[in-house]
Amino acid sequence: MHKHIVLAVLVLTGCASPFGKAGKDALNAALETPAPQPMQIAPPPAAVQQAVMDAVRVVPPVTSKPASTEPRFNLTVNNAKASEVFMGMVTGTPYSMLVHPDVTGTLTLNLKNVTVPEAMEAVRALYGYEYEVQGKRIIVPSPAMQTRIYQLNALAMQRKGMSDMRVVSGSVSTSGGSGGSSGSASGSASKSLETSSVQTSTDSNYWEEVGTSLKALVGEAGSVVVSAQSGIVIVKAAPASLYMVEKYLRASELVSARQVMLEAKILEVQLNDGYQSGINWATLQQGGKLKIGVNGLNPDGTPPINLGGTVAQMLGGLIPGPTGSLFGLAFNDGDFGAVINLIKSQGTVHVLSSPRIATINNQKAVLKVGTDDFFVTAVTGGTVAALGVPAMPPNVVVQPFFSGIALDVTPQIDDRDNITLHVRPSVSSVTENRKTINLGQLGDLILPLASSSISETDSVVRLKDGHIVAIGGLMSQSFGDDKNRIPVLGDIPVVGQLFGNTSQNSQKRELVVLIKTTLIRDSQDWDRDLAATQRRFQNYELPQSQP
């Protein structure tokens, strides 16, 4: 528990500012401090130990008994009373049978070589008679309505999420008018032109879903009371309906309790001259050590892809239409370092962010690191001063624009440990761009506009526990001028150009997002994750201070 608290505080404070060498040494010392050991109990005297050993030696060894097997029998009845059939099933078996007096009806069965539980399950499936096993006692309750109380562990809240990705190419103005005997009116509006758009929304209200589902199971004859505040569900229904209610609640709680740890690396790769067309992912195979699946949808490696070059050459005809700049790959090797080191051979790698977050099944997790800057988006009203009339300042409307890194992930975990992820990473940078508009006689109008540079993607991938999915292909290019001149002589107007040269260069960058999934099944998974976090902090190298 001591290490858990230290690591939690370390992760929270590490996002704010560097902690220096003294802080690192103190944290490492705290992490290496062993947890308090339980109090040692003094051993008993030697005479007591000898007496116990003598008593053990005289006890004869206990022979292990063979495991008892369920007795099997044949059961053949025709239109027999249900109560008499139930009582006859346990004859010659270790089970006891309790049948409620209200149990009526007849049974027709022909069962061969079955046990008592197998016969009772067959009767339940065919005739709907419910039963309950308590040790070696089997109870067949009354078919009348009964009331059961169940307890569920879930947060009493409603959680909504939405992600929106749009590509707007411009806007058009639309106008309309109407006229009549008394006058006419006209107006215009502006409408944005979207070339593509992806909208994803989630609405999680566990308790409302449970109430709706249980009401459908019990039907109109039953009743359901759901108390989200206390975590209690009260159901009144027939025994057959109560059996389905218990089965649904067990499955629902099991599925919703699955948890996954998501670790991401958002990289910006400044490509070398030989890789201007993009990262050559074929080099990441390393003789078959890293297996790759198309878009992460087939981590088992089928159908195979061509690992012969860039994205367009690798994907070939597996994706219909022209291959775009976005793709996804799944790596069976869960080592971030191996993937990043191989990418370094093709360019300079800058790790923009390394977020880590845990979330449960079908719950959206959002991580945001950056700043919100406010920019002017509208200016209305305002008058200049006139004779006897003071000037009125205009109304300025500002809106926040986010600059930084955001990661939006929603996992879905099935019973085979396959994880389907909805991933939406975004890297944005907003700067102020002053635009001057000539208004003729009114002068020039300077507008401080917000200029956004955004790299984002919205995709759905599927991978196994411990695998890494890579989302890349987000390319950007920048141009610059390098000026080399002789001091003094190069600064002479016009003639100075003879004493220097100017060269233009371009740099291509590719944004790569690596996401690793780790299922959290028990406390041992948490301990392994905390141990890995401790090793990372102990191996952390402080940046060299600049003079």
pLDDT for 74 beyond 90 = yes
Number of H helices, E strands in the chain: 10, 22
- In terms of C-beta density within 10 A (0-12 exposed, 13-18 middle, 19 or more buried), how is residue 21 classed? exposed
Lowest mean pLDDT among 148-152, 185-189, 192-196, 409-413: 185-189
Domains of the chain as residue ranges with CATH: 73-142 (3.55.50.30), 145-163+195-257 (3.30.1370.120), 264-279+327-381+391-540 (no CATH)
Q: Tell me, what's the pLDDT at 140?
A: 93
d(CA 246, CA 252): 10
- pLDDT tens-digit series, residues 348-406: 888 888 888 888 898 998 888 888 888 877 777 777 777 777 777 778 788 888 888 88
Among residues of the chain, what percentage have pLDDT more than 90? 20
Residues with Cβ within 8 Å of residue 35, at least 6 apart in sequence: 1, 2, 3
What's the average model confidence in pLDDT over 214-224? 93
Give the pLDDT band (50/70/90) at residue 283: low
Give the pLDDT band (50/70/90) at residue 100: very high
pLDDT for 117 beyond 70 = yes
Residue with tokens 């944004």: 511
Share the mean pLDDT of the chain: 74
Which one of 37-51, 184-198, 432-446, 518-532 scores highest in mean pLDDT?
432-446
Q: Which residue type is seen at 315?
A: L
Q: By C-alpha distance, which of 169, 158, 199 is closest to 424?
A: 199
DSSP string, 103-139: ---EEEEEEEEE-HHHHHHHHHHHH----EEETTEEE
β-pair partners for 373: 401
Using DSSP's 3-state secondary structure scheme, residue 259 falls into: strand
Q: CA 517, 519, 520: angle at the middle one, nearest 5? A: 135
CA 170 to chain CA centroid, nearest Å: 34
What's the average model confidence in pLDDT over 439-457? 78
What's the average model confidence in pLDDT over 234-247? 91
Give the pLDDT band (50/70/90) at residue 345: confident
What's the average model confidence in pLDDT over 434-445? 75
pLDDT for 220 beyond 60 = yes
What's the average model confidence in pLDDT over 77-97? 93
Give the pLDDT band (50/70/90) at residue 131: very high
- pLDDT tens-digit series, residues 147-185: 999 999 888 888 888 888 777 665 555 554 444 444 444
Give the pLDDT band (50/70/90) at residue 218: very high
- pLDDT tens-digit series, residues 450-500: 888 888 888 888 888 888 888 877 777 776 666 777 776 667 776 667 667
Among residues of the chain, what percentage have pLDDT more than 70? 64
More confident residue, 369 or 529: 369
Q: By C-alpha distance, which of 500, 476, 466 is closest to 486?
A: 500
Q: Tell me, what's the pLDDT at 267?
A: 86
More confident residue, 197 or 222: 222
Lowest mean pLDDT among 12-21, 31-40, 219-228, 270-279: 12-21
Whether the CB-CB separation of 360 and 256 falls below 8 Å is answered with: yes
